Chain A
Amino acid sequence: DTAVSQTPKYLVTQMGNDKSIKCEQNLGHDTMYWYKQDSKKFLKIMFSYNNKELIINETVPNRFSPKSPDKAHLNLHINSLELGDSAVYFCASSQERQGRGLFFGSGTQLSVL
């Protein structure tokens, strides 16, 4: 069983479109994250969310929004896609207590044409 699963694996779309990436975890964790990895492999935190608090990286454009229908899901919606949004997006989860480490999904390769 996959612990953190993301869909789709690949997403190719045109500039200006709106798209979503889905993430589900079956680990019973209470905190989920979205990271963006650029072409140089740099990981940038976008959002952190648990049932109490959404923490947003202030550098993330408001075209990006997380949506959590329940504790096991954290989807990423992106409006008006731009060329610079092309990257690999990773979902991750952890237990709220620190020191547990993160469990990552396998990533979604987003290409904006």
Chain B
Amino acid sequence: AQSVTQLDSQVPVFEEAPVELRCNYSSSVSVYLFWYVQYPNQGLQLLLKYLSGSTLVKGINGFEAEFNKSQTSFHLRKPSVHISDTAEYFCALDEVGGSYIPTFGRGTSLIVHP
């Protein structure tokens, strides 16, 4: 069975510092990978996705993620965070040819301090 592990439940960082949110996955088949962001009291919003091709994927709000098949990882990065990036971030995967129900990680709370 597939699974998604987000290694950090909370990541505190100062404004304008770089950040990396870690995501590892497990699957016996090829996967599509996603990062979603959830701002307080809102629904989830798609940040970026990896389907195939270039392993470096750019998303909205200056975020990017790198797919690493050998390490089964899809870490999310931003070179300089803003206060407004404070939110919950979820990594998710779809198995190629599987059901249409993505598997979500437990989320990482990014807290940006001034």
Contact = CB atoms under 8 A, between A and B. Distances in A.
A42 B106 contact: yes
A41 B88 contact: yes
Interface residues of B, number: 26
A96 B107 contact: no
Contacts of B44: 43, 90, 92, 102, 104
Q: Which of B36, B97, B101, B109 has the most CB of A within 10 A?
A: B101
Contact of A43 (B51, B90, B109): B90
A40 B38 CA distance: 13
B2 interface: no
Contact of B96 (A48, A98, A103, A105): A98
B90 A55 contact: no
A104 to B, nearest CB: 3
Interface in B60-114: 88, 90, 94, 96-102, 104, 106-107, 109
B14 interface: no
A98 B32 contact: yes
B42 interface: yes
Given A99-B32, A107-B43, A55 B99 contact: yes
Interface residues of A, number: 24
B100 A96 contact: yes
B46 interface: yes
A101 B107 contact: no
B45 interface: yes
Contact of B101 (A33, A99, A107): A33
Contact of B94 (A90, A92, A99, A107): A99
A4 B43 contact: yes
Interface of B: 32, 34, 36, 38, 41-46, 49, 51, 88, 90, 94, 96-102, 104, 106-107, 109
17 contacts: A4-B43, A31-B100, A41-B38, A41-B106, A42-B107, A90-B43, A92-B43, A92-B44, A94-B100, A98-B96, A99-B49, A102-B46, A104-B36, A104-B43, A104-B45, A105-B43, A107-B41
4 cross-chain pairs, A with B, having the tightest CB-CB distances, nearest first: A104-B43, A101-B46, A104-B44, A41-B107
